[in-house]
Amino acid sequence: MTTSTETNTRVLLRSRPVGEPTADDFEIVREPVPQPAAGEVLVRTSYLSLDPYMRGRMSAAESYAAPTGLGEVMPAGTVGEVVDSRDPSLEVGDVVLAYGGWQAYAAVPARQVRKLDPALAPVSTALGVLGMPGFTAYAGLTVLGRPQPGETVVVAAATGPVGATVGQLAKIHGARAVGIAGGPEKVAHLEELGFDAAIDHRAADFTEQLAAATPDGIDVYFENVGGAVWDAVLPRLNLYARVPVCGLVAHYNETEAPAGPDRSAALMRHVLNKSLTIRGFIQTEFVPEHHDRFLAEMGRWVTEGDVGYREDIVDGLENAPEAFIGLLKGRNFGKLIIRL
């Protein structure tokens, strides 16, 4: 139950960033806690997920989802506790996954939340390995990447919740997993997770290291960054290689097209010469057909320790803008979560 003295801290989009977002693009306000309408529940946020896709929502440019309006709350998946319910399907005290946004309280339709069982796994995993990032990895790799035993799978941002899951799933499928991350600590973590090779993209000889780590070429490249990693990967893709594309975080802050030459035709020639498949996707496409199986399989793998995960938890909603700005620069180490 909420009391009249409580307020709802919210982080709003104040302005659309040009290039890298700054703290000034966000506005932190305190407003009354909302009242749930019929069919809604009031959820008090415990954990809030920060993900690269949110950079796209801050822009007015066309993307795969509508932009967040100026003055609106920043979007986010959240885990929280039901503190008021006006729907028979949920009770006060239930822990749920919601799309509550960057705020302490959200009134949301009950049919848009999913009740979590805290006995199965820590509930914060519903934002990571057992949530949207984990499902992005699962659907993109298994439905689109289709790694075969002995093939080589490469993924960047590999200590992030998507990349780390991609690499571990590749191993489960019998493939060789090569992870790319920034800095020696992250590289060491990839080896702990069971990647066959781990490469620091900051190394001066990154391209040579990638070649050494992929002696048989690359059969699946799970694209979530773009930029220099993609440039190094493209010439090493094998005949019939698959490239699921779920993110391009290296480009999200670009304000104009990079200088020439124009390499877009060369990219298409690679596609032709190697019979490549490049396939963009958003995980929602695969929810109806694959999400139940994902929850069952991934839940078991996480419980049994076959798939590990790492969380990077930052306390306090007021720290969300700075943490998000760091996420776009690769400063997080594991799934970035704000704890309220």
Q: What are residue 263's phi and psi, to 5 degrees?
A: -95, 10
- Residue placing its CB nearer to its own copies in the complex, 188 or 239: 239
Instruction: Please state, as a whole number, how many other Cβ atoms lie within 10 Å of the Cβ of residue 288.
Output: 8
* Residue (91 or 240) nearer to its own copies, CB: 240
C-beta of residue 98 within 8 angstroms of C-beta of residue 37 = no
- Residue number with CB closer to its own copies (244 or 334): 244
Q: Residues in the chain, how many?
A: 340
33 close to 42: Cβ distance less than 8 angstroms? yes
Instruction: State in angstroms the smallest separation of the CB of 280 from its own copies.
Output: 4
Q: Which is nearer to its own copies, 100 or 147 (CB)?
A: 147
By beta-carbon proximity to its own copies, the closer residue of 100 and 145 is 145
Minimum CB separation of residue 232 from its own copies in Å reads 14
d(CA 33, CA 108): 13
Q: Report the alpha-carbon distance of residue 151 to residue 175 in Å, rounded.
A: 5
How many whole angstroms separate alpha carbon 252 and alpha carbon 59? 10
User: At its nearest, how many Å lie between its own copies and the CB of residue 246?
Assistant: 7
10, 28 Cβ separation under 8 angstroms: yes
Answer for the pair 213, 191: CB distance below 8 angstroms, yes or no: no
Cα 197 to Cα 85, 104, 200: the distances in Å are 49, 41, 10
Contacting positions for its own copies (CB under 8 A):
62-64, 223, 226-227, 230, 240, 245-248, 251, 254, 256-282, 285
User: For 236-258, b where at least 16 C-beta lie within 10 A, e where not — what string?
Assistant: bbbeebbbbbbbbbbebbeeeee
Whether the bond into 261 is cis, omega within 30 of 0: yes
Q: How far is the CB of 5 from its own copies (least distance, A)?
A: 45
Q: Give the nearer residue to its own copies in terms of CB position, either 119 or 272.
A: 272
Residue 231 Cβ, how far from its own copies at the closest point, in Å?
9
Q: Residue 35 Cβ, how far from its own copies at the closest point, in Å?
A: 37
- Shortest spacing between CB 139 and its own copies, in angstroms: 12
- Comparing CB distances to its own copies, the nearer of 97 and 218 is 218
Q: Token pair of 28, please?
A: 């932190």
Taking a C-beta distance cutoff of 8 angstroms, is the pair 25, 14 a contact?
yes
Query: 245 vs 287, which CB is nearer to its own copies?
Result: 245
Q: Which is nearer to its own copies, 98 or 139 (CB)?
A: 139
DSSP state letter for 205: T
Rounded least distance, CB 101 to its own copies, Å: 22
Q: Could you tell me the smallest distance in angstroms from the CB atom of residue 252 to its own copies?
A: 9
Spatial CA neighbour of 317 closest among 73, 97, 53? 73
CB-count burial class (<10 Å; 0-12, 13-18, 19+) for 166: buried
